[in-house]
Structure 1
Amino acid sequence: MTLPRPHRVDLLIALAGLATGVLLWSFGLYTTGGRLFDERWAALVPLAVMAGAEALRRVAPQTALAVGTLAIVADQFTNGNLATVLMFTDIVYAAVVYGTPGQARRIPYTTALVTVGTTVAFLVWWQNAFALLVGVITGIVSFLPAVTGSIVRNHREAAESARLRAEQTALLAEIDRAQAVVAERARMARELHDMVANHLSAIAIHSTAALSLDDPGTTRQALTVIRENSVAGLAEMRRLIGLLRESGAETEPAATASLAGLDALVEQARTNGSASGLRFTLDDARREGPGLPAPVELAAYRIVQESLTNALKHAAPGEVRVALAHEEGALRVTVTSPYGQRPGPRAPGSGAGLVGMRERVALLEGSLEAGLEAGDGDGDGDAKVWRVRAVLPVGASEEEERA
């Protein structure tokens, strides 16, 4: 088995321990005397082996502990060296700090059993208090370093866990921030499209009519509609800019679109669509009572607004009907417009309006259907209509208030 390359710091510790041991040996400073191997050179063998194990304390702690244990046992049969004992305590400490989790749990218990066993054995053998001193020394050499290593390892693991939790918290915060930014960008895109597209579509249609028809009356009427929509669009843009600014102490909250403005919205559509042969009707069958939740009213208003804008762009001459009903715990919005060949100018579409409507309905956990359907059988024959149906849940609490 090839051992990994020792850490530079561990090599320095091993060399320092070996040099200290040699220095003590040269002065004849031993820990004991009169042992089995009483030759002067014998104490250097465990010292050199212990220094080699010390070099592996970090990269191979289990191997270092096994070799160090053999060396400290061998040292007891020589005159002994204090540096050998000190390096063994460091090896026990390192085995707990750098070893596997299982090894770190077992070593303190093992050294405790060794300390107790050694004390009991010497008490039985010597039957005097000196055996207790041997037990204390054994605990200092083995059990105390193991407990110290366990404390240090627990602190390091706690610090690492805290660091990982901090990183995870920062990552989650960044994800939440990114999601909030995306959601806010989507909300602003919906608001910008819903507020401005209606006015710009009317301006595009009537400006095209004014340029293509050489009729002073038609041109004047088109310019009047263009001016009205330009002023209204500018007001809507200013309101949106006000929403995007940071609110200050003197800033008043901007008004939110609601179903109370549907009459004005439909009247504006009549003005914009009269030149295209479109008629607009509003059938509001909601029950009298407290107003709906603000998010529901805003979503319903924007759905009607976008549907009327699409009718101005694409609908054939005929009646555009807007119907609202509040039943079964939900607000139902239906907008029907005639489908077919359209005379006169048309405004291009991008499809963003339907996407915005679906997003608004999804946020309220409602449903939306939009597509071609057969006519209502009111004299149109096989004519088809474009119908938008939205179901917006009101919520149980709102229903209880109405009851």
Structure 2
Amino acid sequence: MTRTAAPHPPSRQRAVFRPHPHDVLLAALSVLAGVVLWALGIYSTGNRHFFPAWAALVPLLVLGAVGLLRRTAPRVTVVVGTVGVIADQFTVGNLGTVLIFTDLMYAAVVYGKPSMARRLPVSTGLVTVAVTIASVAWLRTPQALMIGVITGIVSFGPALTGATLRNHREAAEAARLRAEQTALLAEMDRHQAVVAERARMARELHDMVANHLSAIAIHSTAALSIDSPATSREALGVIRENSVEGLAEMRRLIGLLRDAGAEQEPAATPSLAGLDALLGQARVNGSASGLDFVLRDERPPGQPVPAPVELAAYRIVQESLTNALKHAAPGTVRVGVSHADGLLTVRVDSPYGDRPGPRAPGSGAGLVGMRERTELLGGRFEAGRAGSLWQVRAVLPAEEKAVAG
């Protein structure tokens, strides 16, 4: 029996350090320039050295190698670079070493952590001031000021330049993020506007057409189930009347949608003044089901109501009558409208019970639409069974400032 060796767990791959190509090129050119200057005998410290001339190449090569880490380990490059440039001052000196150090200071501010980017310009500025004061106090010659100037050029200047560039980059990034956020908010607003408009169109379409289609469904069922020429003729007349009116309202809605951006005459908006005609049509449509409709208008004369509130109240009554035609038991449907204390109250009471005649199917969208209309205006809506009645109550704010807010 042969044993199969258990598979070894996959070994973790070690992260391989790969310097940026630009950093490699910059380090190579800097070291090459320093070697050329050293070979030509161009030194930076003159006779102030304690080591052989070749010792100046050691800080140069060290800083050139550290330059490969200028993006990934800026803190290390600053520490090693500072030690290297100080060590270079005890040799014949090399300008290449100084130039690499200035780049390391610049890169430390640009690519380092925010705390380092804030501290380096301040610390190098303080070092520059301290070196200047110490040089003047020690040498007591005007030329001592040049030591401070050179220190500032080598350390403070690159750090300040890096801080300026970083601030510009962060400002540009912040502006880009703000632009993206603004675009996102605009897209969200657009989406919400589209959703709200679709919901409004759905409510309007349902409220305008459902009443006529319910009457058509009820009377067509009656015409098919009752074998009476007179009943069938009466039902067909109601069906034709509701079909023509429903088609006219559909055409008006389609015209509004097509010509929304064009100049057109404003369409008449339904108002509470049309409740008598609305109930009159409901009486005709509900006669086959044994329904009667009564309106009780308790509004004081001459008291205006904002147009959005009036339209919502009209649509709530219209939808309640449609539901009564579909589901109410034979009896009287009572509609009441009152206006008091800045509130418009709509009440519709329908008989609730078994219905012997034909019924039209319901989807529940009517109650949802009435509730949405009421809540959009900041009102209260209730609907439910109360004994032998199905009651609908809508309380709407009837003041202009409340609707506008």
Counting only pairs closer than 5 Å after superposition, residues 118-137 of structure 1 correspond to structure 2 as 118-137=131-150
Counterpart residue number, 1:386 = 390
| Length-normalised TM-score, structure 2 | 0.93
Which amino acid counterpart does residue 386 of structure 1 have in structure 2? W
Counterpart residue number, 1:23 = 36
Counterpart residue number, 1:377 = none
Which amino acid counterpart does residue 397 of structure 2 have in structure 1? P
Q: Note the C-alpha offset of 1:122.
A: 1.2
Contact 1:283 1:322 (8 Å CA) reproduced: yes
Q: Note the C-alpha offset of 1:317.
A: 0.7
Counterpart residue number, 2:282 = 269
Q: Does 2:45 correspond to 1:36?
A: no
Q: Distance in 2 between matches of 1:200 and 1:333?
A: 24
SS in 1 for 2:361: coil
Counting only pairs closer than 5 Å after superposition, residues 387-402 of structure 1 correspond to structure 2 as 387-395=391-399, 397=401
Which amino acid counterpart does residue 347 of structure 2 have in structure 1? T
Q: Which of 100, 104, 112 is residue 117 of structure 2 equivalent to?
A: 104
Q: Which moved more, 1:390-399 or 1:157-166?
A: 390-399
Identity across matched positions, percent: 68
Q: Deviations over 1:198-235 (max 9, x none)?
A: 00000011111112222111111111101110111011
Q: Deviations over 1:29-79 (max 9, x none)?
A: 211222333412101000011112211111111111111101100110111
Q: Does 2:366 correspond to 1:353?
A: yes
Q: Distance in 2 between matches of 1:312 and 1:137?
A: 96
Contact 1:104 1:150 (8 Å CA) reproduced: yes
Q: Distance in 2 between matches of 1:395 and 1:7?
A: 69
SS in 2 for 1:286: coil
Contact 2:305 2:399 (8 Å CA) reproduced: no
Which amino acid counterpart does residue 292 of structure 1 have in structure 2? V
| Cα RMSD for the two superposed structures | 1.6
Counterpart residue number, 1:381 = none
Q: Distance in 2 between matches of 1:365 and 1:58?
A: 59
Q: Distance in 2 between matches of 1:396 and 1:152?
A: 55
Number of equivalenced pairs:
389
Q: Deviations over 1:136-186 (max 9, x none)?
A: 111111111111111111111110110010011011111111111111111
Q: Note the C-alpha offset of 1:248.
A: 4.7
Q: Quickly say closer, same or farther: Cα 1:357–1:15, change in 2 above 3 A.
A: same
Q: Note the C-alpha offset of 1:353.
A: 0.4
Q: Quickly say closer, same or farther: Cα 1:51–1:398, change in 2 above 3 A.
A: closer
Counting only pairs closer than 5 Å after superposition, residues 326-341 of structure 1 correspond to structure 2 as 326-341=339-354
Which amino acid counterpart does residue 148 of structure 2 have in structure 1? G
Q: Does 2:201 correspond to 1:201?
A: no
Which amino acid counterpart does residue 133 of structure 1 have in structure 2? M
Q: Does 2:75 correspond to 1:71?
A: no
Counting only pairs closer than 5 Å after superposition, residues 272-291 of structure 1 correspond to structure 2 as 272-291=285-304
Counting only pairs closer than 5 Å after superposition, residues 206-245 of structure 1 correspond to structure 2 as 206-245=219-258
Q: Distance in 2 between matches of 1:231 and 1:291?
A: 33
SS in 2 for 1:84: helix
Which amino acid counterpart does residue 174 of structure 2 have in structure 1? S
Q: Distance in 2 between matches of 1:396 and 1:301?
A: 18
Q: Does 2:356 correspond to 1:343?
A: yes
Q: Quickly say closer, same or farther: Cα 1:242–1:273, change in 2 above 3 A.
A: same
Q: Which moved more, 1:221-230 or 1:390-399?
A: 390-399
Q: Note the C-alpha offset of 1:396.
A: 6.9
Contact 1:53 1:65 (8 Å CA) reproduced: no
Q: Distance in 1 between matches of 2:61 and 2:53?
A: 14
Q: Note the C-alpha offset of 1:91.
A: 0.8
Q: Distance in 1 between matches of 2:241 and 2:247?
A: 10
Q: Note the C-alpha offset of 1:253.
A: 2.0
Contact 2:306 2:400 (8 Å CA) reproduced: no
Q: Note the C-alpha offset of 1:242.
A: 2.2
Q: Which runs of 5+ in 1 are unaligned?
A: 375-383
Q: Which runs of 5+ in 2 are unaligned?
A: 1-14
Which amino acid counterpart does residue 283 of structure 2 have in structure 1? R
Q: Note the C-alpha offset of 1:397.
A: 4.6
SS in 2 for 1:229: helix
Q: Note the C-alpha offset of 1:339.
A: 1.0
Q: Quickly say closer, same or farther: Cα 1:250–1:116, change in 2 above 3 A.
A: closer
Q: Does 2:188 correspond to 1:184?
A: no
Q: Distance in 1 between matches of 2:123 and 2:357?
A: 95
SS in 2 for 1:280: strand
Q: Distance in 1 between matches of 2:400 and 2:201?
A: 29
Which amino acid counterpart does residue 269 of structure 1 have in structure 2? A
Q: Distance in 2 between matches of 1:397 and 1:100?
A: 54
Contact 2:59 2:84 (8 Å CA) reproduced: yes
Q: Quickly say closer, same or farther: Cα 1:184–1:397, change in 2 above 3 A.
A: closer
Which amino acid counterpart does residue 107 of structure 2 have in structure 1? A
SS in 2 for 1:331: strand
| Length-normalised TM-score, structure 1 | 0.93
Q: Distance in 1 between matches of 2:16 and 2:141?
A: 45
SS in 2 for 1:333: strand
Contact 2:286 2:325 (8 Å CA) reproduced: yes
SS in 1 for 2:19: coil
Counterpart residue number, 1:378 = none
